[in-house]
Structure formats: structure tokens, C-alpha cells
Amino acid sequence: MNTEPKRILLIIGGGIAAYKSLELIRLCRKAGIAVTPILTRAGAEFVTPMSVSGLAGEEVYTDLFDLTDEAEMGHIQLSRIADLVVAAPATADLIAKMAAGLANDLASTALMATDKPVLIAPAMNVRMWQHPATQRNIATLKQDGVLFTGPDEGDMACGEYGPGRMSEPADILAAIMRFYGSHLPGVPHGPLTGRKVVITAGPTHEPIDPVRYIANRSSGKQGYALAEAAIALGAEVALVSGPVHLPVPPGVELIQVETAREMLAAVGGELPCDIAIFCAAVADWRTAADAKQKMKKDGSGKVPSLELTENPDILKTIGHLKKHRPPLVIGFAAETENVIVNAQKKLKAKAADLIVANDVSHESGVMGGSQNTVHLVGKDDVESWDKMSKQAVARKLMDRFAALYIERA
């Protein structure tokens, strides 16, 4: 394991998203990553050098021809002191300079002179992002091996909608952690290497009699995709799954169960763990009497009535544990109405750290389907993501959970 302190060189370009870089600095430092900041002249129109250096706890570099900086540390040396150079926000102008190989200020010179990998978080107006010149520049940078995070799609500060919004600071941190996970010598896997993640997935089957059961339409796709994404981040993964028809992602330990009670016992058997994710669609009720023989029609036309009793709530049980409560407990909320409000209630009632809410109404096609639209519901905020494949949702979620776990650790 590499024990060298981690350090990034953060270039803050001149865009409205520059304020988010302050949060990025805070998150990086919390995750044990030192930040050497470079603030471009345009960037300094949006955030002050004092706030940047205050948060970084280090001197902020602004000018190529600043003699004091040059005396203490030349710009070539500055470009090489970090493991990774991060440009956030990376404006259309900065991207164009990088693609053209221009070096006419400190930021562009550092980007040209560095011998370290470069990660950029583009941020610009949607038309600027879609402009053929920007797209040409992006293609050039990708060919050059520059790493990207974002841009996200959504409402923009300028009032327009579309791709161009800078990735959220937590997502940029996740991309930085991915770099550290896969690039630092001696760290073989990823940001969750050495961490155990327990995931529940699929439906439960609650027997009515030996041949019939109560179930739901969960396919297990979202939970299995999460397991695969967690493996990709280096985690040890225990997947507690109800009955589904899916291949087991390589590297995952699968524990197959049928009922909610079996699922609770299996999750309990996997504790302690670092992150627990409850994606299974657990039946809230089971039949009070589990008939030992097949129930029969007696020809009288009388219909049997099924008495139900409540199942244990696995998420709620784990969320409220005093001993061995995982540091990060993530629940899901499957709703057909008032999605956010109901998810907020579940967050509190089940003592989860975060709820991933999704609309499972018939029209959404989420349960059993291949795509999902999720809302991250926290204690004080809600973040809504666009519709994506369940794999893309899973990768983005796992990146976020890993960053959150590291932040809290």
C-alpha cells in the first residue's frame, strides 16, 4: 500500500461553477488529499484567492510572472508536485488552449508542462459545449489521454437546459478517488479496496402454500448492477438476493434467499460491513399461516381469504443497530406517488444515511426494466438524476457512496 500523502494540483478556471471548486477542495482535504490551487485570472472574478487558499490551507498560485512564486517554486516544478492535475471548472477557453497546446498563463503553462495525468471537469453554456469547435477539442484531449468527469445535463445558471453543467464536487472527488484507486503504484484495486459492501437485491417470495407465493416484479437488475459497480471499485461484495434470473457478477459472493426473514438472517450474517445497500423489493407482508399442504378448491365456490402478517423490516433493523451498524446505510424507496416526500419519511423512519428514491409506477417501467430515474434523498437535500441505464445509475451511485464513505471515515 502506498503511504505517500496524496496531492492534486487544482486549476480553477473562470466560470460560474468556480464556486463549486471551493466545496471540492473541502471534500478533497476531508478525504486526505492535499490541494495545491492555481486560480486563473478569470477564475478570480468568481472566487477570491483568499477563500481558495483558506480552504486549501496552502498558497494559491495565480500569475505566471509572479516573481515571488517563481523564486519559491518555478512553474515547471509546480506542474509536477501533484499526483494528478485537476481542472475544475474547465472552461471552453481552457479546453481550447489545452487542445491547441497554448501556454500563455500559469494554468495553461502548468497543463503543458506537467508530466502527470490530467482530469478535467468541463463547465460551459450548452451551446458552447455542443459547438463543433469544442467537440473537436474534446476529441483531441481524449486522444491525448486526458480524463473527464461530466459535464452533467440539467438547468444551467444562464437559464438554458442541456449538457454543460460542471459535475458535482462529490462526483469529481469520486473521479479523483477512482484515479487513486487504479493508478497509484501499490494500490491494486480501487477506493473501496479492503472494504466490505453488502447489497440486497431482487424480490422476496413469501409462501402461501408449498406451490404458491406472494411476490413482486423486481428483476434484481438494479441490485446486481450495484454489486458489479462495487466490485469495480475494489470492494468485497456480498449480494443477498431473492429469486432472480441473472448471471452473478464475477467476484461477487452470492447468498440466495427466498423470504424476507431469510434475507434478514443472511444480511445479519454478513455484518460487520462498511456499506450496506438495501435495493431488494422485500415483501412487507407474508401469510400468517404458511400452509403445509397445497390449498384446494372444494367445489363450493368459496374463496379462501389470506390473513397477512408483517415481515421484519431489514433496512430499519440494520439502520437502528447499536452495535455493528455499518458506517453507511443506504436504502431505496420504491414509490408510485409523492416519491420525494415518501422517501424523506423512509429516510427518517428507517434511520438510513441516504435513500435512493425511484418511481415504480407501471408507466415508469422501472421495476423489471433496464433503465431508472433516481433521486438521492438526504437529510437536508434532494438530488435528481436523469434517466439512465441501471448500470450507469449503479456506477454513479457506487462512486457517490464510496466518496461519502471515505468522507465520513
Options 61, 213, 278, 385; binder of ligand PMT; rule CB under 6 A: 278
Minimum distance between the CB of residue 397 and ligand PMT, rounded to whole angstroms?
10
Options 91, 259, 358, 391; binder of ligand PMT; rule CB under 6 A: 358
Minimum distance between the CB of residue 229 and ligand PMT, rounded to whole angstroms?
13
Asked if 313 and 347 touch (Cβ cutoff 8 Å), the reply is no
Q: List the x/- string, 221-240, binding to ligand PMT by CB under 6 A.
A: xxx-----------------
Element (H, E) at 200: strand 196-201
Of 83-91, 175-183, 235-243, 278-286, which segment contacts ligand PMT by CB under 6 A? 278-286
Options 360, 394, 397, 402; binder of ligand PMT; rule CB under 6 A: 360
Size of the site for ligand PMT (CB under 6 A): 30
From residue 6, alpha-carbon distances to 9, 32, 129 in Å are: 10, 7, 31
Instruction: For residue 345, list its beta bridge partners.
Output: none
Asked if 270 and 283 touch (Cβ cutoff 8 Å), the reply is no
Asked if 336 and 359 touch (Cβ cutoff 8 Å), the reply is yes
Residue 33 interacts with ligand PMT (CB under 6 A): yes or no:
no
- Compute the distance between CA of residue 257 and CA of residue 7 in angstroms, rounded to an integer: 45
The region, left, alpha or beta by phi > 0 then psi within -120 to 50, assigned to residue 101 is: left
Options 219, 259, 344, 391; binder of ligand PMT; rule CB under 6 A: 219
Q: In one letter, which amino acid is 7?
A: R
Residue 333 interacts with ligand PMT (CB under 6 A): yes or no:
yes
- Compute the distance between CA of residue 295 and CA of residue 390 in angstroms, rounded to an integer: 39
Of 11-19, 47-55, 185-193, 309-317, which segment contacts ligand PMT by CB under 6 A? 309-317
Of 42-50, 76-84, 184-192, 362-370, which segment contacts ligand PMT by CB under 6 A? 362-370
Q: Reply yes or no on whether 158 is catalytic.
A: yes
Residue 279 interacts with ligand PMT (CB under 6 A): yes or no:
yes
Residue 205 interacts with ligand PMT (CB under 6 A): yes or no:
no
- Compute the distance between CA of residue 333 and CA of residue 336 in angstroms, rounded to an integer: 10
Give backbone dihedrals phi and psi of 71, rounded to 5 degrees, phi first: -65, -40
- Compute the distance between CA of residue 167 and CA of residue 149 in angstroms, rounded to an integer: 7
Options 138, 141, 282, 397; binder of ligand PMT; rule CB under 6 A: 282
Of the residues 28, 158, 273, 279, which is catalytic?
Answer: 158
Residue 36 interacts with ligand PMT (CB under 6 A): yes or no:
no
Options 15, 150, 151, 331; binder of ligand PMT; rule CB under 6 A: 331
Q: How many other C-beta atoms can be found within 10 angstroms of the C-beta atom of residue 5?
A: 9
The region, left, alpha or beta by phi > 0 then psi within -120 to 50, assigned to residue 138 is: alpha
Instruction: Give the DSSP letter of residue 300.
Output: S
Residue 346 interacts with ligand PMT (CB under 6 A): yes or no:
yes
- Compute the distance between CA of residue 175 and CA of residue 17 in angstroms, rounded to an integer: 17
Of 53-61, 76-84, 183-191, 310-318, which segment contacts ligand PMT by CB under 6 A? 310-318
CA torsion 177→401→222→163, rounded to 10°? Answer: -60
Q: Which is nearer to ligand PMT, 109 or 241 (CB)?
A: 241
Q: Which is nearer to ligand PMT, 193 or 317 (CB)?
A: 317
Q: Which is nearer to ligand PMT, 43 or 331 (CB)?
A: 331
Q: How many other C-beta atoms can be found within 10 angstroms of the C-beta atom of residue 233?
A: 24
Q: Which is nearer to ligand PMT, 294 or 320 (CB)?
A: 320
Spatial neighbors of 71 by CB under 8 A, at least 6 apart, are none
Minimum distance between the CB of residue 392 and ligand PMT, rounded to whole angstroms?
13
The catalytic residue positions are 158
Given the rule CB under 6 A, which residues bind ligand PMT? 200, 218-223, 260, 278-282, 284, 311, 313-315, 331-334, 346, 350, 358, 360, 366-368, 390
